[in-house]
A and B are shown apart, each in its own frame.
Chain A
Amino acid sequence: MKALALRLLPHPRWAAIAIPLAWMTVFFAIPFAIVLKISFAESAIAMPPYTSLLEWTEKGVQITLNFRNYLFLLTDSLYVAAYLGSLKIAVISTFLCLLIGYPMAYAIARMDPATRNVALMLVVLPSWTSFLIRIYAWIGILKDNGLFNNLLMSMGVIDQPLAILHTPVAVYIGIVYAYLPFMILPLYSNLVKLDPRHEEAAYDLGARPWRVFLSITLPMTVAGIIAGSMLVMIPVVGEFVIPELLGGPRTLMIGRVLWNEFFNNRDWPVASAVAIVMLVLLIVPIMIFHHYQSKGLEKRLA
Chain B
Amino acid sequence: MTSEPGTGASASTAVSPAKADMLGQDNYLRIENMRKDFDGFVAVDDVSLSIRRGEIFALLGASGCGKSTLLRLLAGFERPSAGRIELDGQDLAGMPPYERPVNMMFQSYALFPHMSAADNIAFGLRQDGLRGAELKSRVEEMLNLVHMESMARRKPHQLSGGQQQRVALARSLAKSPKLLLLDEPMGALDKKLRSEMQLEVVNIIERLGVTCVMVTHDQEEAMTMAHRIAVMNSGRILQVGAPDEVYEQPASRFTAEFIGSVNLIEGKIEDDEPDHVTIRCEALPEPIWVGHGQTGYAGMEVVFALRPEKLVLSKERPEHPRNCFRATVEDIAYFGSHSVYHLRLPSGIKLLAHTANARRWASEQFTWNDEVWISWDDLAGVVLTS
Residues of chain A whose beta carbon lies under 8 Å from any beta carbon of chain B: 195, 197-198, 200-208, 211, 215-216, 219-220, 299, 302
User: Do A200 and B98 touch (CB < 8 A)?
Assistant: no
CA distance A204 to B349 in the complex (A): 52
Give 15 new A-B contacts, CB below 8 A, not counting A201-B104, A204-B98, A207-B98: A197-B108, A200-B75, A200-B97, A200-B110, A201-B106, A203-B98, A204-B103, A204-B172, A205-B98, A206-B98, A206-B99, A206-B175, A207-B123, A220-B112, A220-B114
User: Do B114 and A206 touch (CB < 8 A)?
Assistant: no
Counting CB contacts under 8 A, is B157 at the interface? Answer: yes
Nearest CB of A to B126, in Å: 9
User: Do B112 and A201 touch (CB < 8 A)?
Assistant: yes
User: Do A211 and B127 touch (CB < 8 A)?
Assistant: yes
Counting CB contacts under 8 A, is B285 at the interface? Answer: no
Counting CB contacts under 8 A, is B124 at the interface? Answer: yes
User: Do A204 and B112 touch (CB < 8 A)?
Assistant: no
Mask for B99-127, Cβ within 8 A of A = 1, else 0? 10011101110111110000000011001
Query: Which residues of chain B are within 8 angstroms of A197 by Cβ–Cβ distance?
Result: 106-108, 110
CA distance A197 to B112 in the complex (A): 10
Chain A contact residues: over half helix, strand or loop, or mixed? helix
User: Do A204 and B75 touch (CB < 8 A)?
Assistant: yes
Counting CB contacts under 8 A, is B346 at the interface? Answer: no
Residue from A201, A207, A219, A302 within 8 A of B110 (CB atoms): A201
Number of interface residues of B (CB under 8 A): 27
Nearest CB of B to A76, in Å: 46
User: Do B124 and A200 touch (CB < 8 A)?
Assistant: no
Query: Which residues of chain A are within 8 angstroms of B107 by Cβ–Cβ distance?
Result: 197
Task: Say whether, besides A216-B112, A219-B114, A203 and B171 are in contact (CB < 8 Å).
Answer: no
Task: Say whether, besides A203-B98, A204-B104, A302-B157, A198 and B112 are in contact (CB < 8 Å).
Answer: yes
Residue of B nearest to A206 (CB): B127
29 cross-chain CB contacts under 8 A:
A197-B106, A197-B110, A198-B110, A198-B112, A198-B113, A200-B106, A200-B110, A201-B110, A202-B123, A203-B96, A203-B98, A204-B75, A204-B98, A204-B102, A205-B98, A205-B123, A205-B171, A206-B98, A206-B99, A206-B127, A206-B175, A207-B98, A207-B123, A208-B98, A211-B127, A219-B114, A220-B112, A220-B114, A299-B157
Residues of chain B whose beta carbon lies under 8 Å from any beta carbon of chain A: 75-77, 96-99, 102-104, 106-108, 110-114, 123-124, 127-128, 157-158, 171-172, 175
Residue of A nearest to B108 (CB): A197
Residue of A nearest to B124 (CB): A205
Query: Which residues of chain A are within 8 angstroms of B102 by Cβ–Cβ distance?
Result: 204
Query: Which residues of chain A are within 8 angstroms of B172 by Cβ–Cβ distance?
Result: 204
User: Do B127 and A207 touch (CB < 8 A)?
Assistant: yes
Query: Which residues of chain B are within 8 angstroms of A211 by Cβ–Cβ distance?
Result: 127
Query: Which residues of chain A are within 8 angstroms of B108 by Cβ–Cβ distance?
Result: 197
Query: Which residues of chain A are within 8 angstroms of B110 by Cβ–Cβ distance?
Result: 195, 197-198, 200-201
Nearest CB of B to A11, in Å: 32
Nearest CB of A to B211, in Å: 16
Query: Which residues of chain B are within 8 angstroms of A299 by Cβ–Cβ distance?
Result: 157
User: Do A205 and B127 touch (CB < 8 A)?
Assistant: yes
User: Do A205 and B157 touch (CB < 8 A)?
Assistant: no
Task: Say whether, besides A200-B77, A299-B157, A205 and B103 are in contact (CB < 8 Å).
Answer: yes
Residue of B nearest to A195 (CB): B110
Query: Which residues of chain B are within 8 angstroms of A202 by Cβ–Cβ distance?
Result: 112, 123
Query: Which residues of chain B are within 8 angstroms of A195 by Cβ–Cβ distance?
Result: 110
Nearest CB of A to B36, in Å: 17
CA distance A220 to B114 in the complex (A): 7
CA distance A200 to B104 in the complex (A): 10
Query: Which residues of chain A are within 8 angstroms of B98 by Cβ–Cβ distance?
Result: 203-208
Nearest CB of A to B75, in Å: 6
Which 7 pairs show the lowest CB-CB distances between chains A and B? A205-B124, A206-B127, A197-B110, A201-B110, A203-B97, A219-B114, A206-B98
CA distance A203 to B128 in the complex (A): 12
CA distance A211 to B114 in the complex (A): 15
User: Do B106 and A206 touch (CB < 8 A)?
Assistant: no
CA distance A296 to B64 in the complex (A): 35
CA distance A30 to B343 in the complex (A): 81
Residue of B nearest to A207 (CB): B127
